[in-house]
Structure 1
Amino acid sequence: MSHTIIELQHVSKRYGDTVVLKDINIEIEQGKFYTLLGPSGSGKTTILRAIAGFLEVSEGDVLFDGQRINDVPANERKVNTVFQDYALFPHMNVFENVAYGLRIQKKPKKAVAQRVESALKMVRLEGYGDREISELSGGQQQRVAIARAIVLEPAVLLLDEPLSALDAKLRKDMQYELRELQQRLGITFLFVTHDQEEALALSDEIFVMNDGEVQQSGTPVDIYDEPINHFVADFIGESNIVAGHMIADYQVEFNGKTFECADAGMRPNEPVEVVLRPEDLDITSTDAGKVQVKVDTQLFRGDYYEIVAYDRLNNEWLIHSTNPAVDGDTVGLTFDAEDIHVMRLNESEEDFDARLESYEGE
């Protein structure tokens, strides 16, 4: 059974008058793949560095297996870090790079050789020990960095945007390898990225960050299907977000009409924001459509057409369709009640969870 291996309790970090982390409270369980997701400057790498011991927090506690580790030096923490630039030693070959930490620990020569060989095998680099770092591809260098980290047998592996320097195809290939490696090793991965698709593909759980705060946490499906606020809905995937009013439980008004929906627990006539994902919209005739829009532009994306249209209130609608539309045509859009997600204005994650539980139990 999983247990909490890392916990941040009311952690804040300030540099002078600048606050980069604001009262962070997160729990990380053993054996899962977690992602800190957010734009540049959101605080995700600061959290990673606080866990690694590379910086002191201004307030709060960092716990490992229930023990406070604020004052524990970085080299004594049971975590290891894979950096964005890999930080490999160019004057050492692959074997010596991976063996470096073990040699610092003064491990016996035979044990070093066995553990390095095992680590290289785990990342599918058997036989690469004598290669120079300059002879390796970007993906191979990344795997050497991971091998150097896991050879020390950390309980938690911290990964600071390790795929960002790779080209698109190699980056996708390495996503599969990272996920498979984490599941095979069974250790906790905490991964930092600004790439939403990457986070959705890799993670068991995601912490979405912005402006030094955790905006929402949960599984990829939860966060994609049930975004808590405008930032999360806009940042995770693509969304149509329009203003509306909650008429009553399971009834919401937007675009001048009332629609059945799957949300409840709000005040009658409360102002809300309504989210509809582009892939949930189907183009139909104007008479059959629940919303009528005029097609403005479209782009062919390979397996779908990305269509931009506008309704009579000048709301922009993004539609993903397997069939092309005609620029300038007025068409109808249809969708199911379950496709509508209603967001309360300025709702906290705690209030959102409580509301969700209240009507899921009905």
Structure 2
Amino acid sequence: MSEVIVDLQHVSKAYGSTTVLKDINIEIEQGKFYTLLGPSGSGKTTILRAIAGFLDVTEGDILFQGKRINDVPANQRNVNTVFQDYALFPHMNVFDNVAYGLRIRKTDKSQITDRVDAALKMVRLSGYGDREISELSGGQQQRVAIARAIVLEPQVLLLDEPLSALDAKLRRDMQYELRELQQRLGITFLFVTHDQEEALALSDEIFVMNDGEVQQSGTPVDIYDEPINHFVADFIGESNIVSGHMVADYLVEFNGKEFESVDAGMKPNEPVEVVLRPEDLDITTVDAGKVEVEVDTQLFRGDYYEIVAYDRLGNEWLIHATNPAKEGETVGLTFDAEDIHVMRLNESEEDFDARLESYEGE
């Protein structure tokens, strides 16, 4: 198991009567890519700023390699931050921007050139040292900001939505570069974003946040396939969420029928929510379908058709299909037991993990 490098223990932050972080417990291991994911106002950047030392927490402890750092000034923490607006100095060229932190630390002049050149090479900007910031594209400015951060050799790099100002194609290209850079450097990245696809693509582990709390943590696959509650299921990707009841272990009722599932450990007839992802639904004939729906609208998305349909109970169904449907047509939907994910109401992550272990070991 990797070393835990940053550990937040029961961390809360309040501004007067407004609490923006509520009992946060997070462990961050050395050498992994972590993402804080959530909507605006969920507390993501507050966590980043607390780790960086830019704000004091109201309660709890922040540990760095096992040592409490609540009272350690920001400039004495072995972390560095890449900001959303890059915060580059427009009156300095690329070299001087990257060298700025080294000069503040009074690094020997003989080392500065070598370290700046090495950092620029890491972000594929060799030969750009004499360029003015105004001459660079958005993606190049973002790389300069990263070079300025990594030249100080931090153990943890904090990234506060650094791709948000880029256009869609450049943003996607920079995702590949960020992931490759993190793997090459082998240092810990803690990345803040509200973009679900970005988090799924980049991360080793994700902390999904809402309203100042961590709703769920885990690998991208775990969170996508096994969302713990309605918020996570709805926020991560696209989902069909319908109400139902757990009849017995591995048997769930929704839409007026009983279906085999892979979930267990709940009470008989317990109210639940059922999640089916759009890509797991196949359109078939009414007779062959498990759920009968009427096609309402469809949009062509390039590599699939996005179809909206409704069942007889008024539930909306989103379907991703490779072939078009006809608006107004009644069709059947089919899916496998493994495609059904059952969520208990108000289940904690600890209880969810314990329940999962109890029947996965059978």
Please confirm whether the aligned pair reaches a TM-score higher than 0.5, indicating the same fold: yes
TM-score of the two chains, using structure 2 as the length reference: 1.00
Secondary structure of 2:265 counterpart = coil
Secondary structure of 2:354 counterpart = helix
Query: Once the 2 structures are TM-superposed, how far is the Cα of residue 191 of structure 1 from its aligned partner?
Result: 0.1
Aligned to 1:168: 168
Question: Matched residues in 2 for 1:105 and 1:128: separation?
Answer: 23
Query: Once the 2 structures are TM-superposed, how far is the Cα of residue 108 of structure 1 from its aligned partner?
Result: 1.4
Alignment of 1:110-149 (within 5 A): 110-149=110-149
Query: Once the 2 structures are TM-superposed, how far is the Cα of residue 2 of structure 1 from its aligned partner?
Result: 1.2
TM-score of the two chains, using structure 1 as the length reference: 1.00
Secondary structure of 1:342 counterpart = strand
Secondary structure of 1:113 counterpart = helix
Aligned to 1:65: 65
Question: Matched residues in 2 for 1:272 and 1:212: separation?
Answer: 25
Structure 1: 4+ residue segments shifted above 3 A: none
Determine whether 1:216 maps to 2:211.
no
Alignment of 1:1-362 (within 5 A): 1-362=1-362
Question: Matched residues in 1 for 2:261 and 2:324: separation?
Answer: 28
Question: Matched residues in 2 for 1:293 and 1:192: separation?
Answer: 39
Question: Matched residues in 1 for 2:313 and 2:166: separation?
Answer: 43
How many percent identity over aligned positions?
Answer: 88
Secondary structure of 2:89 counterpart = coil
* Aligned AA (1:41): G
Cα deviation, 1:288-318, whole Å, max 9, x if unaligned, reads 0000000000000000000000000000000
* Aligned AA (1:183): Q
* Aligned AA (2:258): T
Secondary structure of 2:184 counterpart = helix
RMSD: 0.4
Cα deviation, 1:99-131, whole Å, max 9, x if unaligned, reads 000000111111000000000000000000000
Secondary structure of 1:158 counterpart = strand
Query: Once the 2 structures are TM-superposed, how far is the Cα of residue 89 of structure 1 from its aligned partner?
Result: 0.2
Question: Matched residues in 1 for 2:346 and 2:108: separation?
Answer: 58
Question: Matched residues in 1 for 2:107 and 2:209: separation?
Answer: 40
Cα deviation, 1:47-86, whole Å, max 9, x if unaligned, reads 0000000000000000000000000000000000000000
* Aligned AA (1:111): Q
* Aligned AA (2:160): D
* Aligned AA (2:279): E
Query: Once the 2 structures are TM-superposed, how far is the Cα of residue 323 of structure 1 from its aligned partner?
Result: 0.2
Cα deviation, 1:140-193, whole Å, max 9, x if unaligned, reads 000000000000000000000000000000000000000000000000000000
Question: Matched residues in 1 for 2:140 and 2:222: separation?
Answer: 34
The unaligned stretches of length 5 or more in structure 1 are none
Cα deviation, 1:213-232, whole Å, max 9, x if unaligned, reads 00000000000000000000
